[in-house]
Amino acid sequence: MNPIGGSFGLQQAHQFGFIQQQKQGVLESLATGLRINRGADDPAGLVSSEQLRAMLADLEAESSSLERARGAARVADSSLGEIGDLLIEAEALAVANANTGGLSESEREANQMELNSILSAVDRVASSSSFKDTPLLRGGHTLEVGGGSVNLPSAAVTDLGSTEIDGETYTLADVASGGRFSIENSDTSRSLEIIRAARQEAIFAQGEVGAFEMHAIEPRRAGLGIAIESLTAAESSIRDTDYAKATAALARLDILETASLRISSAGARFDPNQLIRLLG
């Protein structure tokens, strides 16, 4: 037996097996879209990739929390704006009823009925303002993110426009029919005081919510977006398949595989030392 030929046969078989192993790895990376499918593919790369993934998970969780806070802030902002608009109408009715010489009694009563309807609408907006089943304007709710917080008021007519008069505290509920300061009364100055206090409270709360979104939520959202994009790109560059490289590697391995098979079938007709150099 030719010892060189026998050695060549073993080396050729080993070479063919090695080519097959490499080809299988390339095919897997093309199929999964991942360069690293197991720790053995790139231990250091896997560790780096997992660390980046953990960081991404934290940032994405914070981003999701910010999106929820942003959504809640926008609902509260819109609701407070709607309440403010309603109270402008309420104020106009109170001003109209202050002109006792220009309105008949029936007109004053009609204005009071319209005001009652407005107050009911304020209550409906306050009670229906919610985000993901969480009430926003019923009192006691706080919007909070890492950069700040804002307390949302109760916008119910029994709470809004709290005004102290003669040692007693009155609210919007007291300007409705039957209330001490309903606008059916001849003196509507106290009614106006309460309505204006309520409107200012709604406007101020809306401004606070807007400032919270602008200065606490949006800057952090923008920063997180940039950080997530950068980390995603970094993790992808480590773990994902480079299709151009993988395709080129597959083509090269196909050529080597074909050459190995042909050499194996015709090995006896060639100088083993020359074949070893060709496959090396």
pLDDT score for 71: 96
In this predicted structure, what is the pLDDT of residue 16?
A: 65
Q: For residue 88, how far is the Cα from the chain centroid?
A: 34
pLDDT more than 70, % of the chain: 74
Q: Is residue 85 scored above 90 in pLDDT?
A: yes
Q: How far, in Å, CA of 245 to CA of 178, rounded?
A: 82
Q: Using 50, 70 and 90 to split pLDDT, how confident is the model at 236?
A: confident
Q: Specify the pLDDT at position 237.
A: 82
Asked which of 10-19, 157-166, 265-274 is least confident by mean pLDDT, the reply is 265-274
The residue ranking higher by pLDDT, 105 or 176, is 176
CA nearest to 16, candidates 273, 274, 267, 194: 267
pLDDT beyond 60 at 69: yes
The pLDDT-based confidence of 4 (bands split at 50, 70, 90) is very low
pTM of the model: 0.74
Beta strand extents in 124-194 (DSSP E only): 130-131, 134-135, 138-145, 148-154, 163-165, 168-170
Q: Is the pLDDT of residue 113 over 90?
A: yes
What pLDDT is recorded for position 146? Answer: 79
- What is the per-residue burial (b if ≥16 Cβ within 10 Å, else e) of 236-273? eebbebeeeebeebbeebeebbeebeebeeeeeeeebe
pLDDT confidence tier of residue 2, bands split at 50, 70 and 90: very low
In three-state secondary structure terms, 262 is helix
**Residue the block writes with tokens 């004053």:** 108
Give the mean pLDDT of the chain: 84
3-class DSSP assignment, residue 145: strand
- Kind and range of the H or E element at 169? strand 168-170
> What are the backbone angles phi and psi of residue 164, rounded to the nearest 5°?
-90, 125
Reported confidence tier of residue 102, pLDDT bands at 50, 70, 90: confident
Angle among Cα 53, 42, 280 to the nearest 5 degrees reads 155
pLDDT at 253: 63
Chain-centroid distance, C-alpha 178: 47
- Sign, CA dihedral 234-240-244-245, equals positive
Q: Name the nearest CA neighbour of 203 among 124, 69, 87.
A: 87
* CATH fold of 54-236: f41 fragment of flagellin, N-terminal domain (1.20.1330)
Judge whether 151 and 142 are in contact, CB under 8 Å. Answer: yes
**The two three-digit tokens of residue 142, written as one number:** 């706080």
Q: Is 198 exposed, middle or buried (0-12, 13-18, 19+ CB in 10 A)?
A: buried
